[in-house]
């Protein structure tokens, strides 16, 4: 037990007087605390960097693992154990994918449909959203309800095919962009964002003699850049990844094939020709469905990965503000 002696000083305060041995213990503890506190600022950046690196690896692990498999020998990849780095480096998987017939044609059509389809969809949805968001528009509630119903009711694949065929959209490039020009979800997101813009801006512009076209182009459109970027990203990703419409409507026209459809056919052919896993193991340097799928996946998502960082600052803002329910 430590000896403690209390005494009253001249000011009437109680002080604690400790024996010399206890003072040495307190001094050592204080020195340890000072050393620990001085070391914490220098350790914080290191610990923070380690935690951030681990979080990045965990987040990007599916992409990194797919990239490692795509750069690894297909037969060697069947052994497993590939995580973040290829064990037997090779470009053969990418060479197999890029040597596919009509791949350049499919890439050209895919890029064209992505650019044209995104621009047309963004313009049409923005115009419709601007009209629906006007308070003095007579059919505002009726049209909004109509577009909401289209999100839950679908005519089916066969009636849709017959409709497109009757309109002359099959075996044409128009089938890629015209059906996707109007989307109820995208239109409602833009409309909700426009409803958050103060009406005083529109009223002041009308007092200066501006019409609805001028108000839409010079006032609302600059303010709606975040939600425009969000909708553009949604539409562009959908157009880039789409392959079912090429198979369903333009299957007989090889000049209108898409990149995703060609990669899907390549993956199917490799799967059918690959045989069993034992046969693949006996083949030296042969590509496998897993390695080809990995290479095709990297080629498919590479443009989206390159574009998304530039639209990220608009994406979160536009989706958050545009998704608020009235």
Q: Do 62 and 174 fall into the same domain?
A: no
Closest among 302, 300, 296, 290 to 72, alpha carbons compared: 290
Query: Is the domain of 141 the same as that of 244?
Result: yes
What is the residue-averaged pLDDT of the chain?
A: 79
Return the pLDDT at 324. Answer: 46
Average pLDDT over residues 308-314: 70
Q: Is residue 125 part of a domain?
A: yes
| pLDDT tier, 214 (very low <50, low <70, confident <90, very high otherwise) | very high
The 3-state DSSP class for residue 208 equals coil
Claim to verify: residue 58 and residue 126 sit in the same structural domain: no
Both 232 and 296 in a single domain? yes
Interior/surface letters 239-264, b for 16+ CB within 10 angstroms, e for the rest: bbbbbebbeebbeeeeebbbbbbbbb
pLDDT > 90: what percent of the chain? 15
Domain span at 25: 4-70
Instruction: Specify the CATH number for the domain of residue 267.
Output: 1.10.3720.10
Cα–Cα separations (whole angstroms), residue 164 to 15, 175, 197, 256, 304:
94, 8, 38, 16, 29
- Reported as a single tens digit per residue, the pLDDT across 245-260 is 999 998 888 888 898 8
CB 79 within 8 A of CB 291: no
The whole-angstrom separation of Cα 326 and Cα 135 is 14
Question: Which token pair is 117?
Answer: 């389809």
What predicted TM-score, i.e. pTM, was given to this entire model? 0.72
Closest CA to 133 of 75, 76, 215: 215
In a domain, 169, yes or no: yes
pLDDT at 235 (0 to 100): 92
Q: Is residue 88 part of a domain?
A: no
- Residue 179 forms part of a structural domain: yes
- Give the best-scoring range by mean pLDDT among 79-83, 308-312, 319-323: 79-83
CA–CA distance, 147 with 133 (Å, rounded to integer): 14
Residues 23, 134 within the same domain: no
Q: How confident is the model at residue 89 (pLDDT cuts 50, 70, 90)?
A: confident
Residue 71 or residue 37, greater confidence? 71
What is the mean predicted confidence (pLDDT) over 138-145?
Answer: 82
User: Are 100 and 255 spatial neighbours (Cβ–Cβ below 8 Å)?
Assistant: no
Residue 243 shares a structural domain with residue 195: yes
Does the residue 85 lie in any domain?
A: no
Query: 253 and 172 share a domain?
Result: yes
Q: What is the mean pLDDT of residues 208-213?
A: 87
β-partners of residue 14 are: 8
Does 103 lie in the same domain as 40?
A: no
Q: Which residues contact 250 (CB under 8 A, 6 or more apart)?
A: 170, 171, 172, 175, 256, 257
Does residue 85 register a pLDDT over 90?
no
290 burial (CB, 10 Å; 0-12 / 13-18 / 19+) is buried
Task: Dump pLDDT digits (tens) for 41-72.
Answer: 667 778 888 999 888 888 888 888 889 998 88
Average pLDDT rounded to a whole number, residues 285-313: 78
Number of domains in the chain: 2
Is the pLDDT at 326 greater than 60? The verdict is no
- 56 within a domain of the structure (yes/no): yes
Share of the chain above pLDDT 70, in %: 78
Q: What is the pLDDT of residue 7?
A: 39
Chain segment 105-137, per-residue pLDDT in tens: 888 999 999 999 999 999 999 999 999 888 888
* Confidence band for 281, pLDDT divided at 50, 70 and 90: very low
Instruction: Name which of 6-10, 27-31, 40-44, 281-285 the model is least confident about.
Output: 6-10
- Whether 172 shows a pLDDT value over 80: the answer reads yes
Q: Residue 299: which of 57, 99, 58 has the closest Cα?
A: 99
Residues 68-78 have a mean pLDDT of 85
Average pLDDT score over residue span 304-316: 71
Angle between helices 259-274 and 103-132 (to 10 degrees): 130
């Amino acid at each position: 037990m430590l000896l403690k002696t209390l005494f009253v000083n001249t000011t009437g305060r109680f002080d604690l007087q400790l024996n010399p041995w206890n003072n040495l213990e307190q001094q050592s503890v204080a020195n340890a605390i000072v050393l620990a506190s001085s070391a914490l600022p220098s350790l914080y950046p290191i610990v923070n960097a380690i935690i951030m690196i681990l979080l990045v690896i965990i987040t990007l692990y599916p992409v990194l693992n797919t990239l490692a498999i795509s750069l690894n020998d297909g037969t060697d990849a069947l052994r497993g154990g590939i995580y973040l780095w290829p064990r037997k480096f090779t470009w053969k998987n990418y060479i197999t994918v890029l040597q596919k017939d009509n791949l350049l044609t499919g890439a050209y059509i895919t890029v064209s449909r992505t650019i044209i389809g995104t621009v047309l969809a963004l313009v049409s949805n923005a115009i419709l959203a601007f009209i629906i968001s006007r308070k003095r528009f007579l059919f505002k509630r009726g049209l909004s309800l109509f577009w909401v119903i289209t999100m839950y009711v679908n005519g089916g694949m066969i009636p849709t095919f017959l409709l497109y065929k009757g309109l002359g959209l099959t075996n044409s490039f128009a089938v890629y962009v015209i059906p996707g020009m109007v989307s109820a979800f995208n239109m409602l997101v833009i409309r909700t964002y426009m409803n958050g813009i103060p009406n005083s801006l529109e009223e002041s512009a009308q007092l200066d003699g501006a019409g609805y076209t001028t108000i839409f182009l010079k006032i609302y459109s600059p303010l709606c850049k975040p939600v425009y970027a969000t909708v553009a990203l949604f539409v562009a990703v959908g157009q880039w990844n789409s392959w079912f419409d090429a198979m369903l409507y333009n299957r007989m026209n090889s000049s209108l094939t898409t990149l995703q459809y060609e990669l899907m056919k390549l993956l199917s052919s490799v799967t059918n020709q690959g045989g069993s896993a034992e046969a693949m193991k006996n083949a030296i340097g042969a590509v496998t469905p897993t390695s080809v799928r990995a290479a095709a996946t990297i080629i498919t998502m590479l443009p989206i990965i390159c574009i998304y960082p530039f639209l990220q600052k608009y994406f979160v803002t536009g989706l958050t503000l545009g998704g608020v329910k009235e």
